[in-house]
Amino acid sequence: MAFNLLGRIRAAYIKILKVKTRVLKTYIVISVAILATVLFVQIPKGSSQSGVLFPVRAGGVTANIGLGILGRSGNFSVERAGRTTTFDDALYVVQITETPASGGSIVRTRVRKHSGERFSLSHFQVDVRIPRPEIQAIWYPSSEAKSDDVMSTDAFHNIRAVSAPNYGIPYVAAVAADGKNLVAMGLRQQDLSVLIEGGPSASRFYQLRLTAVTPRAAAVFEHDFFISTGTSSDWFDTAAAYADWVDAANGYQPFPIGEHAYDPVYDTWYWSGDNVHESLYLETAKQASEVGAGLYLADSGWDAPTGEYAKWLNGKTGDYAPPSDKFKDLAGTFESIRLEHNLGVQLWLQPFAVGRASERYARTRNLHIQIPSDFSSLPGWSGLTSSPFVLPRGENLETVNLCPRIRGTQMYLRDLFTEMAAKYKPDGYWLDFIDGLAVYCVAPHVHNYSTFGEGLRADLETVKSTILATNPGATVHFRAKYANLNNKSFANVWQSEDSPGDFDRMRLSALRLRPFSKGVVFASDQLYWPPSTEDTEVAKFIMTSVMVGVPAFGPNLTEMAPSTRDMLRAWIGFYRAFQQDLVGGQLSPFGQLHVPNHKIEGKERTFAYIRNLDFSELPAADKTVYVMNATDGNRIVGRMRGPAGIRQYTVRVFDRYLNREPNPIRLTPDRTGQVFMNVAVEEGGIVEMTGQ
């Protein structure tokens, strides 16, 4: 895509489809309208009335900082002093400072008027241009997860995507064929609507751009950008360095983590939908407890009559009052699950959503987000724009969600969570649909917060403080894409995107989110597989969930064969035995770029998940290495390098039920310290290598 440096403001329409399940819950269709491209003029030749471009060297690459400054008087003069460059005209002073930092460079942009008066900024941006032949792939966290590629696209295709306070992360990167970072850039501020663009520029280059399109007014504008061209780090570690910088710069404070955050989760949603009732909960809770789960998720369906979920604004969502034909005493059902089956209970809520048929709607009718019928003319997320997510109300469209920018929503959320805690005493909450909120609102109510991002953080702070006031050890689960750096303080468990029936998609989604997750416990999606699935595949579903973080499962236990249940029990036992390493260890990808393998380095053990045999070496820091066979074959072939001084490995093989096979073998490293593995192990089994 060639960027138009003298171009025009254009609207970019982005439709992002997220599927909650293959059965009932087609979850979100978000139509996004972004005021996208800004106008540029080279320095010092003057500028148009819509924007100006300021070039700066950062980390060995020329970055262009674009600012939508209004009312400029003419050309900017340029003065450089060390790492700071000053651009000056009769009205404005722009200072851009580049500072080396771990993993990259920080570019600080500061704008003020000579007079000290407030001024408006329509947008700001950063873009870089890099040689296209060096690029193997482009990736950004808000792109849709795929089953066959952890990356987003390649250097021959355009990208046009979005991040927002409730969706994704304002970060984009180009990656070499060996997985090393070529260039990465991201914004420090996480509570803005940001357009993510990329595409071929001229014949040999690819241009990446981040544009924040939330207009603001201030006497001083200051923002920091992260830019990395450090090819010594791979794409994963570079993203982690960016996340560490953002967390430190923004004063991230983790949500307290209680013991239930590490408990394996069971959920019926992917096969039951919202058709749940007391006997189903009690039966599946018993079976979940028998296979080793520790947390039972009461997903959507406990809260309203069956079928109401799909009605959205037309329905009763928001009542959180189960009908008596489903649950005579839901609080009593939960207590039985705790006492009889020793499971914690996690309560599903979509706290911002209220339907018109709900009894709560009388209170919330004036709190809802409204968007104009010509929503595509405004910048930012337009949210869900199809019926029944939105319905006409006067000249506007009313959405199912409450507006985060008014204090009335905070009061509603405080009362809702206080009521849920008193009624049901949940051990945690699974908060849903936060990524469905529109980031602008034209309702006639008065906004108490100037931006969507500011209001959302205030609302989530209210939710957090209300939960902790009644249960300091509560779990709070967020799912990608609203599990992001903006919202990390308000949850203690993150999980990957919904991926029923597709463990590859779940794992690759998890790998993309994992670099940003320091401070929270990372968990699997509640992986589902049909009852007819062969045990060879079931083993890989289970193994993948265990090797992503806290395992979570959603198959129909009532139809599960006893042998499959034995397999699930064994693997949850494996997780329990090595929980500290599997959840708290250092995760990193290795091998090929697009479908990498990954490993977790614990305190005394290394766990390596092998999806394909296309890797030159498995580096392992520990004497004991568990090699997981997630390939489509019955043999692990490859080279491993363990710690120095290992003279011999004892090799034991475990089948997919984790039964140890007889007759261990021994392997001897070569002079370089490598050991060649050529071990027969069935799909879903483990090779245990213990060094002496």
pLDDT of residue 175: 97
452 φ/ψ angles, rounded to the nearest 5 degrees: -60, -45
Which domains are assigned to the chain?
41-249 (2.70.98.90), 259-389+399-560 (3.20.20.70), 586-691 (2.60.40)
CA-to-CA distance for 82 and 420, rounded, in angstroms?
58
How high is the pLDDT of residue 578?
Answer: 98
User: Model-level pTM?
Assistant: 0.92
Tell me what pLDDT residue 202 has.
Answer: 77
Element of type H or E holding 455 = helix 452-470
The DSSP string of 620-640 is: --SSEEEEEE-SSSSEEEEEE
The pLDDT assigned to 1 comes to 34
Query: What CA–CA distance (Å, rounded) separates 375 from 387?
Result: 14
Please say whether the beta carbons of 397 and 385 come within 8 A: yes
User: Chain centroid to CA 56: how far?
Assistant: 31
Q: Which residue has the tokens 């193994």?
A: 543
Q: What is the pLDDT of residue 59?
A: 67
Single out the residue of 452, 453, 517 nearest to residue 480, CA to CA. Answer: 517
**What phi and psi values does residue 566 have, to the nearest 5 degrees?**
-65, -40
Token pair of 396 as six digits: 């506007």
DSSP code for 593: S
Q: What's the CA gap between 341 and 152, in Å, rounded?
A: 43
E strands of 73-170, at which residues? 77-81, 84-88, 92-101, 104-113, 119-131, 137-139, 159-163
What residues pair up with 603 in beta bridges, in sequence order? none
Angle at which helices 330-341 and 407-424 pack, to 10 degrees?
60
DSSP structural state of residue 27: -
Q: Which residues contact 329 (CB under 8 A, 6 or more apart)?
A: none
pLDDT at 379: 65
Total residues belonging to the chain = 692
CA end-to-end distance (rounded Å), the chain = 56
Residue in the block written with tokens 């106008």:
39
**pLDDT score of 378:** 66
Q: Are 196 and 187 in contact (CB under 8 A)?
A: no
Contact assessment for residue 551 and residue 262, using Cβ atoms and an 8 Å cutoff: no
Q: Exposed, middle or buried: residue 267 (CB in 10 Å: 0-12, 13-18, 19+)?
A: buried
Structure tokens, 539? 């083993």
Taking the chain (692 residues) in runs of 10, the rounded mean pLDDT of each run is 28 30 33 28 28 77 85 74 86 91 88 93 92 95 94 95 94 96 96 94 90 92 92 93 97 96 98 97 98 98 95 96 95 98 98 98 97 76 84 96 98 98 98 94 96 97 98 97 97 96 97 98 97 95 98 97 96 98 97 97 96 96 97 97 94 98 95 95 98 93
- Provide the pLDDT for residue 375: 72
Backbone φ and ψ for 96, nearest 5 degrees, come out as: -125, 120
Tell me the C-alpha distance between 373 and 396, whole Å. Answer: 6
Contact (CB, 8 A) for 7 and 205: no
Rounded distance between C-alpha atoms, residue 521 and residue 473, angstroms: 14
DSSP letter assigned to residue 145: P
Antiparallel, parallel or unpaired: β 521-523 and 428-431:
unpaired
Q: Decide if 475 contacts 493 (C-beta within 8 A).
A: yes
Q: Tell me the pairing of strands 344-349 and 428-431.
A: parallel
Predicted pLDDT at 4: 31
Q: How far apart are CA 456 and CA 469, in angstroms?
A: 20
Cα distance between residue 671 and residue 367, in whole Å: 71
Position 7 scores a pLDDT of 28
DSSP string covering 176-228: -TTSBEEEEEEES--SS-EEEEEEEETTTEEEEEEEE---EEESEEEEEEEEE
Return the residue matching tokens 């010092």.
44
Q: Which stretches within 310-359 are classed as H helix?
A: 330-341
